[in-house]
Amino acid sequence: MCEPIRQTGEIRLIGYPRQVERPTIIEIARKARGLTQTQLAKAGGTSQATVSAYERREKSPSLGVVERLVGEAGYTLRLDHTVDFRQVTFNGRDIHWVPDQLWRVEPRLCFSKVTFPDGVAHRETGEWQQRHFDLADRDDRRRVYRYLLVVGIPVWIWRWVDGPLLVDLWDELDLPSLLRAEWKPLIDHARFGPPEDAIHVGFDHIQELKREELQERIAALGAKASPGRD
């Protein structure tokens, strides 16, 4: 699922082999919401054939159409930073993956039930066993986060390690000291952000709403003054 960038030792998240088409954002949103193409098409005011063509990349929807269809699936378009992972090793044998920033994980994944191979049991018995964890339980979440930071691959870390929850657990995680040092700048960046004033935040929000209302009024007056224009 991830394509190494050999020149830098980094990995670009959610990379796909070049011969495999990545799913479109419409398909990702539709399947995440559990909708069929017909259901999404009906909600978005289009046809199933059109949605199918968008998902197969046979037609290119406008940004407005993408926003509408993704919105009908219960999502919004937003800009997110790309998360890059770099490979680190401290003994020349064990590989660890460290990101360049923290991120948010969807709530249903933050607190899901997960199963991972038990590496300790494998070393002791030679057989792979599965261990089950409930991420809604703080103790289980701490065990999973430690496991993922120590032996996880990028796609696992990205899928289940939520940035704020990691910061909350950080002092309780028993990590190798060198690996902890690699992650610590990310934790410190999240913990020691600039102070915020709720009054100023509220005031700025009110001012923004007033500006938007004024712009809408100006646009409405302009439309009345030019009734013949589109």
230 residues of the chain, pLDDT tens digit each: 333 333 334 444 444 444 446 789 999 999 989 999 999 999 999 999 999 999 999 999 999 999 999 999 999 888 877 899 999 998 888 899 999 999 999 898 999 999 988 766 666 777 778 889 999 999 999 999 999 999 999 999 999 999 999 999 999 999 999 999 999 999 999 999 888 788 877 877 788 878 878 887 787 777 766 655 44
Distances in Å between the Cα of 37 and the Cα atoms of 40, 112, 154, 219 are 5, 27, 31, 36
Extract the tokens encoding 85.
């992972």
- Find tokens 């991120």 and name the residue: 103
Distances in Å between the Cα of 10 and the Cα atoms of 6, 7, 53, 205 are 7, 8, 34, 39
Helices 63-72 and 48-55 pack at an angle, to 10 degrees, of 110
Extract the tokens encoding 111.
């607190």
- The pLDDT of residue 122 is 63
- The pLDDT of residue 166 is 98
Helix (H, G, I), strand (E, B) or coil at 117: strand
- The pLDDT of residue 1 is 36
Burial class (CB in 10 A: 0-12, 13-18, 19+), 97: buried
- The pLDDT of residue 20 is 47
- For residue 149, the Cα-to-chain-centroid distance in whole angstroms is 17
Is the four-CA dihedral 210, 211, 215, 218 of positive or negative sign? positive
- The pLDDT of residue 17 is 42
Answer for the pair 70, 54: CB distance below 8 angstroms, yes or no: no
Domains, the chain:
3-72 (1.10.260.40), 84-191 (no CATH)
Rounded to 5 degrees, φ, ψ at 110 are: -55, -35
